[in-house]
Amino acid sequence: MNEDRELVEALRELASNGPVEAPPRVEQRLAWEFRRMKRRRNLLTWAPGLSAAAVALALLLGTHRDLLHPHQAKPAAVRAVESAAAPVAEEEADASFYPLPEAEALPAVENAVVIRVQLPVSSLQLMGVPIGNERAGASVDADLLLGQDGLARAVRLAE
Amino acid sequence: MLESPFRSDGDLLRLLASGEEKAFLEFYRRYQGQVYRFALQMSGKTEVAEEVTQDVFIAVMKSGQRYDSERGSVAAFLYGIARNFVLRSLERESPYVTVLDDPAADYAARLTTEAAGEQDVFGDLARSERLDTLRKAVLALPPAYREVVVLCDLHERDYAEAASVLGCAIGTVRSRLHRARALLAEKMRAGERCAV
């Protein structure tokens, strides 16, 4: 009985002598991971809806395969189209597109459409488009590159 | 300067699920010590403890909102996740590594250094040696016994909370703890005999 009490006391002493905290690098790694996951979650939240809306818009405007023009700067298979609602100069169609992180997991683009949409600056920043904070809170015109499946692959500032 | 108001665990879990980084960091700072120590005391390895701590809080980021306060405390919820990661890590490793390795040599060395600076050098050395022997004895216990010792004796969790973490009956915790302490006492006696 006495031995048991001594053992428990020794265990308590052992508990109070060990390291008490994880090294700061664990917190740093987790903070980085938290930001990465938040960014990814935000993209996943808006991207499918936006893609669906874009496809609907493209169909509504009569944009179809026969209107597609060959795309110069992308790989040969990639094609771009100018949205009737928002004309985009062909030579600048992909001059500054930023690939979306989620696009890496999607099939290769065979046919693409570019549509012009209005997006909040904060969303563009999350997508990796370098745009200053001075316009945070505002919405700007952006071009969205959609693949043949209607899912967004890349984005760029239209201005 | 105004002190920020205390936010409950439930508030923090809700806020971090909605993407508030400050809430996540507050939650992390509140519980990281317990999780890290649990993993270290279970594995004896700082690298495993770091990895487990990281994995536990990533799991919280992903599914912290699944926490149900009716099923136990937040600490028990985190210990439960940590336990799964630790056991997975132990399964990957050789069962002999824990005993033969000297994973917390820095810890033992620290105890020795601290002891050397004090008046009763021999007494403190004996104490640090005894603690080191005890630490190794805990690490040498089978995981099912080790986890009850770590939870109930090192982390001072009550039987009910330990049972909730381990997913077993309170009676099971009690009997495992009894057996674990008997094994530890035996190892300590054997250690003392060797020292003499």
User: pLDDT tens-digit profile of A47-81?
Assistant: 666 667 766 766 666 554 444 544 444 443 333 43
What would the 3-class secondary structure string for chain B be? Answer: CCCCCCCCHHHHHHHHHCCCHHHHHHHHHHHHHHHHHHHHHHHCCHHHHHHHHHHHHHHHHHHHHHCCHHHCCHHHHHHHHHHHHHHHHHHHCCCCHHHHCCCCHHHHHHHHHHHHCCCCHHHHHHHHHHHHHHHHHHHHCCHHHHHHHHHHHHCCCCHHHHHHHHCCCHHHHHHHHHHHHHHHHHHHHHHHHHHC
Q: Say which amino acid occupies A47.
A: A
CB contact under 8 A, B28 and A29: no
A 117-156 residues with CB below 8 A of B? Answer: none
State the smallest CA–CA distance between residue B29 and chain A in angstroms. 8
User: Is A106 a domain residue?
Assistant: yes
Q: Is the pLDDT reported for residue B33 higher than 80?
A: yes
CB contact under 8 A, B21 and A29: no
Q: Looking at the complex, does the CB of residue B40 fall below 8 Å from at least one CB of chain A?
A: yes
Q: Is the pLDDT reported for residue B168 higher than 60?
A: yes
In this complex, how many residue pairs, one in chain A and one in chain B, have their CB atoms less than 8 Å apart?
Answer: 93
Distances (CA, A) of A78 to A41, A74, A81, A94: 28, 6, 10, 11
Averaged pLDDT, B73-93: 92
Q: Say which amino acid occupies B105.
A: A
User: Is A24 a domain residue?
Assistant: no
Q: What whole-number distance in Å separates Cα of residue A18 and Cα of residue A90? A: 66
CB contact under 8 A, A14 and B107: no
Identify any residues that bridge with A139 across adjacent strands, giving them in sequence order. A120
Q: What is the pLDDT of residues B92-139, one digit of tens each?
A: 875 554 443 444 444 554 545 555 555 566 667 777 888 888 999 999
Three-state DSSP class for A139?
Answer: strand
User: Is A149 a domain residue?
Assistant: yes
A 32-91 residues with CB below 8 A of B? Answer: 33-35, 37-38, 41-42
User: Is A87 a domain residue?
Assistant: yes
User: Is A32 a domain residue?
Assistant: no
User: Is A25 a domain residue?
Assistant: no
Select the highest-mean-pLDDT range: A38-52, A138-152, B19-33.
Answer: B19-33
- Domains in chain B and their CATH numbers? 7-93 (1.10.1740.10)
User: Is A39 a domain residue?
Assistant: no
User: Is A29 a domain residue?
Assistant: no
Q: Can you give the residue range of the structural domain that contains A119?
A: 48-157
The minimal CB distance from B181 to the residues A7, A23, A38 is found for: A7
Whole-structure pTM value: 0.62
Any idea what DSSP says for residue A98? Answer: E
